[in-house]
Structure 1
């Protein structure tokens, strides 16, 4: 996956000399990023080294943009109004849960939804079997069913109650913009793992449900 994305990035940079922001971002979004995001919700990694490897493709590509070479990666994301690839994978997971709830995607992992008067639509988090081997705990926490459910459950009622897809995406984007986006990349010391769950655990700027 990352190998193919790096190859495409190298080909793109060799084939096009224009390094303007508009051209570079158009090329990246249309030719490179899709190779890093195919079916990304199920395989969304939690291991820092994997996150760094994927994120490095976007980090190196955006470093070639005219006028941004002296900025660090986190600053470039802000200047470009660009989400990290890590944050985009969590966004896709949340959108997929919304689609399952509204019957637009099969709920083949058996997520159980319920309605809370205060928080609207929630997902029941299956309990971890405490009798199971401790090594299974990591697999449990990193599984799509658990991680996606936890991500969904941080959404406020104003977002999770939206019933149309495009307005939901717009509401979700506004929600995401309230969190710092400082993905773990080599050479940087992030304040946490940068997951929305990490930011919410740290207080979440008062926006987490």
Structure 2
């Protein structure tokens, strides 16, 4: 495998390419990507191919080179994890009343009827609404609590948005 590090001049040019790719390609992949929750794997694969090509462009890698090590080197999450990251970031903002009211109204904390359960003491869990259709399961109101409740408690209890995002990105990279 080729290591894509070189002298300082290469790093400056690579940083310029990285900024250009972030402005022109990655920003388009990330724009409203929370709407992609539950979409078909074919749609996710199309976006993943675009992200892989963008990573290869940053490093001037060959067409046949694997993109995974390049994505790791750039600290870019795969597309499906970027969607999860966006949904969970919006959920964090909703819980802390930093999101628009129409989104805040979609999220509510879980209220346990039984106080003896271990989950009854966890005040960071979200209530999961009942949905009748698969499209209802893909909605933000259903997907955000499902993903949020799967996070480790230490991440859910982050004190600030920045700390939450750092912990979440590390968690998603390692999972």
The TM-score range, normalised by the shorter chain, is 0.7 to 0.9
User: Which digits, 9 at most, give the CA deviation of each residue in 1:102-133, with x for residues without a partner?
Assistant: 0001353522213746644111111234xxxx
Where structure 2 has 5 or more consecutive residues not aligned to the other structure, the ranges are: 1-10, 112-118
CA contact (8 A) 2:34 2:83 kept: yes
Q: TM-score by structure 2 length?
A: 0.75
**Equivalence for 1:88:** 82
Between the two proteins, the alignment pairs up a number of residues equal to 155
Structure 1 consecutive aligned stretches of length 4 or more whose deviation exceeds 6 Å: none
Provide the residue aligned with 1:160 in structure 2. 156
1:120/1:161 contact within 8 Å kept: no
* In 1, Cα distance between equivalents of 2:23 and 2:97: 29
Partner of residue 42, structure 2? 49
Question: Which residue of 2 is the match for residue 31 of structure 1?
Answer: 24
Q: Residues 123 and 148 from structure 1, CA distance in 2 versus in 1: closer, same or farther, beyond 3 angstroms? A: same
TM-score of the superposed pair, with normalisation by structure 1: 0.64
Q: CA deviation at 1:68?
A: 3.5
RMSD: 2.5
- Structure 1: 5+ residue stretches without partners: 1-17, 130-136, 180-209
Task: Write the distance in 1 (CA, Å) between the matches of 2:18 and 2:38.
Answer: 25
Higher helix share: 2
Higher normalized contact order (CA 8 Å, seq sep 6+, divided by chain length)? 1
